[in-house]
Amino acid sequence: MSLAEAFRLALRRLRANKLRTGLTTLGIVIGAASLVALLAVGQGAQARLTSRIASLGTNLLSIQAGSSIGQGGIRGGLGSASTLTVDDADALRKLPGVAAVAPELPVPGALVVAGRANTTTQVTGTTPDEARVRGYEVHAGTFLSDLELRAGLRVAVLGATTAADLGLPAEQAVGQTIQVDAIPFRVIGVTQPKGGFGNPDDQVFVPLSAVQRRLSGSSSLRAIGLSVARADDMAAVSQQAEQTLRARHRLGDSASDDFLIANQAQLLQVAADQATVLRNFLLGIAAIALVVGGIGIANIMLVAVRERTREIGIRKAIGARRRDLSRQFLVEAVVVSLAGGVLGALVGVLSAGLVGRAVRVAAQPSWLGVLLAFTSSALVGAVAGWWPARQAAQLDPVDALRYE
Same domain flag for 115 and 195? yes
Instruction: Please check whether residue 65 lies inside any domain of the structure.
Output: no
Residue 35 · residue 50 · CB < 8 Å:
no
| Cross-strand pairs, 260 | 64
Lowest mean pLDDT among 9-18, 75-84, 260-269, 337-346: 75-84
Same domain flag for 245 and 97? yes
Of residues 78, 64, 107, the one with CA closest to residue 226: 64
Rounded to an integer, the average pLDDT of 107-120 is: 93
Of residues 392, 403, 402, 396, the one with CA closest to residue 1: 392
At residue 367, the pLDDT reads 83
Instruction: Please check whether residue 60 lies inside any domain of the structure.
Output: no
Give the model confidence (pLDDT) of 148-190 as tens digits: 999 999 999 999 999 999 999 988 899 999 999 999 999 999 9
At residue 190, the pLDDT reads 95
Of 58-67, 201-210, 380-389, which has the strongest mean pLDDT? 201-210
Same domain flag for 253 and 299? no
DSSP state of 71: G
Q: How many domains does the chain have?
A: 2
Same domain flag for 278 and 250? no
- Strand bridging mode 60-65 / 203-207: unpaired
Distance (Å, rounded) from C-alpha 192 to C-alpha 141? 11
Same domain flag for 252 and 279? no
End of a domain among 198, 227, 257? Answer: 257
Same domain flag for 250 and 368? no
| Cross-strand pairs, 65 | 259
Distance (Å, rounded) from C-alpha 203 to C-alpha 121? 6
What percentage of the chain exceeds 90 in pLDDT? 32
Determine the angle formed by the axes of helices 18-54 and 3-16, rounding to 10 degrees: 100
Q: The domain containing residue 355 runs over which residues?
A: 3-51+269-402
**Does residue 116 sit in helix, strand or coil?**
coil
Distance (Å, rounded) from C-alpha 376 to C-alpha 64? 48
Same domain flag for 187 and 136? yes
User: Cα-flanking dihedrals φ and ψ of residue 213, to 5°?
Assistant: -85, -35
Same domain flag for 344 and 379? yes
| pTM across the whole model | 0.62
Q: Residue 6 — pLDDT band, cuts 50, 70, 90?
A: low
Q: Which contacts (CB < 8 Å, 24+ apart) does range 90-96 have?
A: 91/244, 91/248, 92/63, 92/224, 92/226, 92/241, 92/244, 92/245, 95/237, 95/240, 95/241, 95/244, 96/237, 96/240
Same domain flag for 279 and 215? no
Rounded to an integer, the average pLDDT of 313-320 is: 64
Give, in order, the Cα–Cα distances in Å from 210 to each of 6, 138, 149, 180, 219.
83, 21, 8, 11, 11
Rounded to an integer, the average pLDDT of 64-92 is: 67
Instruction: Please check whether residue 93 lies inside any domain of the structure.
Output: yes
Instruction: Please check whether residue 56 lies inside any domain of the structure.
Output: no
